[in-house]
């Protein structure tokens, strides 16, 4: 890159509307700086600037930026360019190396990012070279995960409100899986937003609400049970307060319905896209991983098989492996707090489900509880650590999960 043996490094301080760009050579000299807009014209200025200083398709100039998403990153990732997503906290530490006054400016931050590559490029990792299909699955799986969390948050808010004035509804829906998120519950709350109106519902009105929700069987028996709950003796708020709370509940119900619809539509999109991936069959062969959870795992580990040098790197990234802190005569082994939270959450659900499908996983979990004295969460984390290592090797070797090879000692003890 550049002329002769000169190496050029680029740093970009990203912002919502504009970006600051800095180019330095291997001696740390500032060669150029630009202020560009976040549009096609700004991207062209950036690419022309890089080309002016020797950027070619064969030898592109490496770029450091504080984000891994967006159109600017997509433009920079075209071809063989190395793009480094630098954590803002790490960039802040590097800033203190050049100034003790803690002054900060966008052009200065771009220069700091360029110097990070100049001095410590070997200590940072480039963005993974995931396929377009893998990145599309990541978008859908993360969106579905966010929609699921949002749905649960809205359901919790609605449950808290109903507890204040409408406990009969909570009692009526308590036997249903997913409770307030079910369409039957939402239809009944629309028909009767207050306990006074719920007590006046006729059998035919309750049955009609259940049918609108899509229920096909047991409608009559379920309608009788719900009417019996609604007509029981419950405490009431004053009429005016009850009506006001009912209107507030209907407003929350609209938000819950939108969250349920979004989660359902995104789940369908994941079901259509994830099985098309070459690694999907391997991931789905593992106990406890279905389409939705498997897609979340793939979304976070990616399909760039060279991203992690070994299974230990993947385990540390997921927060599954413990971390050791030692100083002098003191040492402690604790769980990781700096990790990929999405992958760690998916791993908890994976380890929670795996013992129901795998005798070896169940025996491993029991051994951690009984012999090592682990708490439930610690035992699941240890099981996730083991399953993640097995997944890494299966994907690298293009092999399916094998129960006998995965848990030979546990199966022998269990037998």
Position 130 in a domain: no
Position 131 in a domain: no
Residues 232 and 307 in one domain: no
User: Which of 63, 89, 123 is the last residue in one of the domains?
Assistant: 123
- Summarised one tens digit per residue, pLDDT across range 213-272 is 888 888 999 999 999 999 999 989 999 999 999 999 999 999 999 999 999 999 999 999
User: Which of 222, 239, 272 is the last residue in one of the domains?
Assistant: 272
How many domains, the chain?
3
**Diameter over CA atoms, the chain:** 88
Q: What is the pTM of this model?
A: 0.83
Q: Give the model's pLDDT for residue 100.
A: 64
Q: What is the 3-state composition of the chain as percent helix, strand, coil, each rounded to the nearest 5?
A: 60, 10, 30
Mean pLDDT computed over 119-128:
87
Specify whether the CB–CB gap between 289 and 350 falls below 8 A. yes
Residues 252 and 141 in one domain: yes
* Helix 341-357, helix 359-370: angle, nearest 10: 110
CA dist 182 → 30, 166, 172, 221 (Å): 60, 17, 12, 18
Residues 109 and 13 in one domain: yes
Residues 255 and 188 in one domain: yes
Q: Range of 146's domain?
A: 136-272
Q: Give the model's pLDDT for residue 237.
A: 92
Residues 80 and 57 in one domain: yes
Question: Reduced to 3 states, what is the DSSP secondary structure of residue 155?
Answer: helix
- Summarised one tens digit per residue, pLDDT across range 344-363 is 999 999 999 999 999 999 99
Q: Report the CATH number that the domain containing residue 53 is assigned in CATH.
A: 3.30.420.40
Q: Which residues, 6 or more positions from 199, have their beta carbon under 8 angstroms from its beta carbon?
A: 230, 231
Residues 113 and 162 in one domain: no
- Summarised one tens digit per residue, pLDDT across range 59-115 is 899 999 988 888 888 888 888 889 999 888 888 888 777 666 666 777 888 888 998
Q: Which residues, 6 or more positions from 323, have their beta carbon under 8 angstroms from its beta carbon?
A: 316, 333, 334, 335, 336
Residues 234 and 204 in one domain: yes
Residues 45 and 144 in one domain: no
Q: Give the model's pLDDT for residue 125.
A: 85
pLDDT category at 335 given cuts 50, 70, 90 is confident
% of the chain beyond a pLDDT of 90: 62
Residues 143 and 266 in one domain: yes
- CA 168, CA 232: separation in Å to the nearest integer? 8
User: Which of 255, 272, 289 is the last residue in one of the domains?
Assistant: 272
Position 260 in a domain: yes
Residues 348 and 308 in one domain: yes
- Summarised one tens digit per residue, pLDDT across range 276-294 is 999 999 999 999 999 999 9
Position 207 in a domain: yes
Q: Which residues, 6 or more positions from 415, have their beta carbon under 8 angstroms from its beta carbon?
A: none
Residues 291 and 410 in one domain: yes
Residues 303 and 372 in one domain: yes
Strands 8-13 and 18-25: antiparallel
CA 30 to chain centre: 38
Q: Give the model's pLDDT for residue 99.
A: 66
Position 128 in a domain: no
pLDDT category at 179 given cuts 50, 70, 90 is confident
């Amino acid at each position: 890159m550049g002329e002769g043996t000169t190496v050029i490094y680029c740093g970009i301080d990203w912002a919502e509307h504009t970006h600051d760009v800095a180019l330095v050579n291997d001696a740390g000299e500032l060669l150029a700086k630009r202020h560009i807009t976040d549009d096609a014209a700004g991207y062209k200025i950036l690419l022309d600037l890089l080309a002016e200083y020797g950027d070619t398709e064969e030898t592109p100039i490496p770029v450091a930026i504080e984000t891994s998403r967006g159109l600017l990153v997509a433009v920079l990732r075209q071809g063989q360019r190395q793009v480094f997503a630098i954590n803002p906290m790490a960039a802040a530490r590097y800033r203190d190396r050049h100034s003790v006054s803690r002054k900060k400016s966008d052009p200065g931050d771009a220069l700091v990012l360029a110097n990070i590559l100049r001095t410590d490029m070997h200590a940072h990792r480039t963005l993974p070279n995931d396929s377009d299909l893998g990145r599309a699955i990541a978008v859908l799986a993360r969106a579905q995960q966010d929609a699921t969390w949002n749905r649960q948050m809205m359901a919790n808010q609605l449950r808290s409100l109903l507890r204040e004035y409408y406990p009969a509804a909570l009692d009526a829906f308590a036997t249903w899986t997913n409770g307030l998120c079910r369409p039957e519950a939402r239809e009944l709350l629309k028909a009767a937003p207050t306990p006074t109106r719920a007590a006046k519902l006729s059998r035919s009105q309750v049955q009609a609400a259940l049918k609108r929700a899509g229920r096909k069987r047991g409608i009559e028996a379920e309608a009788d049970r719900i009417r019996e709950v609604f007509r029981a003796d419950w405490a009431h708020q004053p009429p005016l307060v009850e009506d006001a709370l009912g209107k507030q509940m209907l407003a929350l119900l609209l938000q819950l319905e939108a969250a349920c619809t979004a989660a359902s539509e995104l789940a369908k999109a994941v079901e259509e896209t994830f099985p098309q991936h070459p690694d999907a069959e391997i991931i789905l062969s593992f106990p406890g991983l279905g389409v939705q959870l498997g897609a979340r795992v793939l979304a976070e580990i990616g399909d760039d098989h060279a991203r992690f040098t070994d299974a230990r790197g993947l385990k540390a990234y997921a927060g599954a492996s413990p971390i050791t802190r030692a100083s002098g005569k003191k040492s402690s082994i604790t769980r990781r707090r700096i990790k990929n939270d999405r992958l760690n959450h998916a791993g908890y659900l994976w380890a929670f489900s795996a013992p129901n499908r795998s005798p070896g996983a169940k025996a491993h979990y029991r051994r951690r509880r009984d012999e090592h004295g682990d708490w439930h969460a610690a035992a699941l984390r240890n099981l996730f650590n083991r399953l993640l290592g097995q997944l890494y090797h299966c994907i690298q070797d293009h092999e399916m999960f094998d129960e006998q090879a995965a848990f030979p000692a546990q199966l022998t003890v269990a037998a």
